[in-house]
Amino acid sequence: MNSGTLYLIPVPLGEDSLTSVIPPDVQSTARQLTHFIVEAPKTARAMLKWFGTPHELRSMWMAELNEHTQEKELSTLLEPLLAGHDVGLMSEAGCPGVADPGANLVRLAHTRGIKVAPLVGPSSILLALMASGANGQKFRFNGYLPADATARIEAIRKLEQDSLKLKQAEIFIETPYRNGALFDSLLAACRPQTLLTVARDLTTANELTATREIAQWKREDAPDLHKRPTVFVLYAG
């Protein structure tokens, strides 16, 4: 029996952007599937209902894959694919496999000869870079910076040095409730002329994307970032 296809299904970044960010053919593919690997079943069922799935939600096969999933559990998640079922991999927001625990499963799928099909959808990381004005030909995504204030300052200074030396855009994110602390650390640690982009609530009605020199950010009121998904882009090149 041939194995099924692992579809990487993107989802909106906000609740008001389905038709503008998810192509109709992606929604159609999601509606056809009955097997899913997701971060949180409750959120995934709500998203599938939004997509308009014709299947009874409770009857679907749905397995969890999140930061708590152990490496030894990944093989079990691939069993429906090896049995011939197509399976959709969905994250909580944006594209699965990018800043997402799904990457480990995708890598294992390749080793098992399973076809992996990425579908078109929004990536907050690339959208922030596109809108930043920073170097789009040389950039690095750094994930989360340290939560400890001292370590965070050190990490920011290292990123700024790398950006200046390599003319490279440095992209990072933070847990939404710590966005304010990260923003304050950036203003405290960076040179006045370094560029900082704040990209908040991307693709939603409350979207804000602004690039300023650090010195200018210090003269302005801080943007409202508390508990709001935000991507930061630093460019000193």
Instruction: Please write the tens of the pLDDT for every residue from 81-111.
Output: 999 999 999 999 899 999 888 999 999 999 9
Q: 128 and 168: one domain?
A: yes
> CA dihedral defined by 205, 184, 143, 100, rounded to 10 degrees?
-40
Residues 177 and 218 placed together within one structural domain of the fold? yes
Q: Cβ distance 196 to 234 under 8 Å?
A: yes
Supply 163's token pair.
Answer: 């950006």
Say yes or no: 103 and 192 in one domain. Answer: no
- Residues 106 and 168 both lie in one domain: no
pTM over 0.85, yes/no = yes
Q: What is the pLDDT of residues 178-223, one digit of tens each?
A: 999 999 999 999 999 999 999 999 999 999 999 999 999 999 999 9
Task: Say whether both 93 and 50 belong to one domain.
Answer: yes
**Which amino acid, residue 22?**
I
Is the same domain home to 110 and 151?
A: no
Identify the sign of the CA torsion 72, 77, 79, 84. negative
Domain boundary among 99, 118, 137: 118
Q: Domain end: 53, 88, 118, which one?
A: 118
Q: What percent of the chain lies above the pLDDT cut of 70?
A: 100
Domain count, the chain: 2
Residue 155 shares a structural domain with residue 99: no
**Cβ contacts of residue 6 below 8 Å, gap of 6+?**
81, 86, 87, 89, 105, 106, 109, 114, 115, 116, 117
pLDDT in tens, 52-86: 999 999 999 999 999 889 989 999 999 999 999 99
pLDDT bin (cut points 50, 70, 90) of residue 126 is very high
Residues 14 and 108 occupy one common structural domain:
yes
pLDDT tens-digit series, residues 143-175:
999 999 999 999 999 999 999 999 999 999 999
CA 140 to chain centre: 14
237's tokens = 């090149």
CATH number of the domain that 72 lies in?
3.40.1010.10
The pLDDT assigned to 67 comes to 86
* pLDDT (mean) for 21-36: 96
Pair (12, 113) in one structural domain: yes
Q: Are residues 78 and 148 in the same domain?
A: no
Q: Residue 151 maps to which CATH number?
A: 3.30.950.10
Question: What pLDDT is stored for residue 1 in this prediction?
Answer: 65
Residue 106 shares a structural domain with residue 129:
no
pLDDT at residue 141 tops 90: yes
Partners of 7 in the β-ladder:
88, 117
Rounded Cα distance, 234 and 198, in Å: 9
Q: What is the 3-state secondary structure (H, E, C) of the chain?
A: CCCCEEEEECECCCCCCHHHHCCHHHHHHHHHCCEEEECCHHHHHHHHHHHCCCCCHHHCEEEECCCCCCHHHHHHHCHHHHCCCCEEEECCCECCCCCCCHHHHHHHHHHCCCEEEECCCCCHHHHHHHHHCCCCCCEEEEEECCCCHHHHHHHHHHHHHHHHHHCCEEEEECCHHHHHHHHHHHHHHCCCCCEEEEEECCCCCCCEEEEEEHHHHHHCCCCCCCCCCEEEEEECC
User: Quick one: pLDDT at residue 14?
Assistant: 87
18, pLDDT greater than 70: yes
53 and 132 share one domain: no
Full domain range(s) for residue 92: 5-118
Q: Select from 60, 91, 118 the last residue of a domain.
A: 118
Classify residue 221 by burial, with Cβ atoms within 10 Å: 0-12, 13-18, 19+: exposed
- Mean pLDDT value across residues 23-28: 95
